[in-house]
A = this chain, B = another copy of it.
Amino acid sequence: MLAKPPFMDDWKKIQEQLKNFRDERDWAQFHNGKDLALALSIEAAELNELFLWKNADDANVEKIKDELADVLGYALLLADKYDLDINQIMMSKIQKNADKYPVHKAKGNAKKYNEL
């Protein structure tokens, strides 16, 4: 039997890169939870601006790459800040959403769970 290969998972690799970037600039002092969340929402707005006044799929894909990367960057820094296991929180949330949106009620409509 082969030994388990020496890989870190993807999130952690990117988180390490983001933290190196941050620490080279001595920016951890600014990265409290509130400002990281605020930064994330500002980047989300920049992502939305790519779609403003346009049909749903007319945004510039190269710019989407940049803005989505910014959103993900702050999301990963937040996860690191609170020492969250991303795979775990994702699987847990998908399970919660499965309970809120049972297939037989939610299939084919986009109503919010409290209106189903």
Q: Which residues of chain A have a CB within 8 Å of any CB of chain B? A: 2, 4-5, 7, 9-11, 13-14, 17-18, 21, 24-27, 29-30, 32-35, 37-42, 44-57, 59, 61, 64-66, 68-73, 75, 78-79, 82, 84, 86-87, 89-94, 96-98, 101, 103, 106-108, 110
Note all chain B residues with C-beta closer than 8 A to A57. 32-34
Of A29, A37, A42, A66, chain B has the most CB atoms within 10 Å of the CB of A37
How many copies of the shown chain assemble into the complex? 4
Give Cα A87–Cα B89 distance, bound, in whole angstroms. Answer: 20
What is the CB-to-nearest-CB distance from A31 to chain B, in angstroms, rounded to a whole number? Answer: 9
| Interchain CB contact under 8 A, B52 and A47 | no
